[in-house]
Structure 1
């Protein structure tokens, strides 16, 4: 029984030693992946528009590979693929830019042993800025006034591009006010008094510095005699 136990322990020791040796030998003689192909994908897109890019690489040892993408051309990996892919498998990445400009994108490959390829050639991508319309304003104020009474009305809105914008208040009596420019989320007020009793629809629109206007916000106001 004792001899059998010693033999089993000896066998396990030999197997573990060989496993460690061959793993070390394999890592020492590991070859890195080859330079990936130049990324393929859109060369001209808009800010906040998703775009798909693909590439692949060959590993001489047939190791699995993951890929690191450099989206801004600073020679640093901004995003690694989440898993290692089989050798020569086409990798796909989706990216969007939040600012406009020209970007040189590239990628490198890394095998399961940590060996890395050179960077691929650059793909130059031009990202264009297209302003978005401000969101419909949030409009509030009094809904009942008397003739000559000044009412104060408040408006605010937001936009994806976050430029300053102004508000147009149309008072439904052939007059209007244009406010100063404010930033996204800020509230600005305007005041008005009507000279004739009746039912009026106050209309408010936001306009950014690119002259893009929002949809209308409305508020019904009843003007009574004094």
Structure 2
């Protein structure tokens, strides 16, 4: 007889739930403020103020490099920008993809490793944006971190396919599809330079998972010694 205590739906990993709540919680404050439900008249400007205070800016990054100064209030932008979004729809898409990718990746990686992949995608995405993008200096939203999780998902799927004798290239269909969608939207509605941060986040997550997957570091070390 089936244990009635066992849930038919696998619970979300705590780290994924925490990230989702942080993203949606911040967005809820902005959306409620814009709707005039909280904060009074000044709440309309909360999102813009948050972008200026916590978003990542290529201009600010260039200033830090030029001055050789790295104030904490600007360094934190490498992480905090992931929790500030341009709109409710933006945050919703990030949240949905975070739940989907995070749940799958957390079935294989430890909780801390899932957080590390998200953080690495976030930081490396901002770094690439700061170094290479000047025409669109502001970067906000959690997509680079989510693309880090997509990179982890891709590596895990690649290993599974190769182990079963299937074509490992099939693992890259998702990232190819997502980049294709970004290209189409860019052609239709104008270029969006944030694709670079997303792509770098993807490769960072893919590379990190090679080591973070259980036994991955030992296999990599053995392979390097063999070579």
TM range (shorter): under 0.3
Between structures 1 and 2, the one with greater strand share: 1
Relative contact order, higher structure (CA 8 A, sep 6+) = 2
TM, length-normalised to structure 1: 0.19
Q: Which has the higher Rg, Structure 1 or Structure 2?
A: 1
Structure with a larger share of its residues in helix: 2
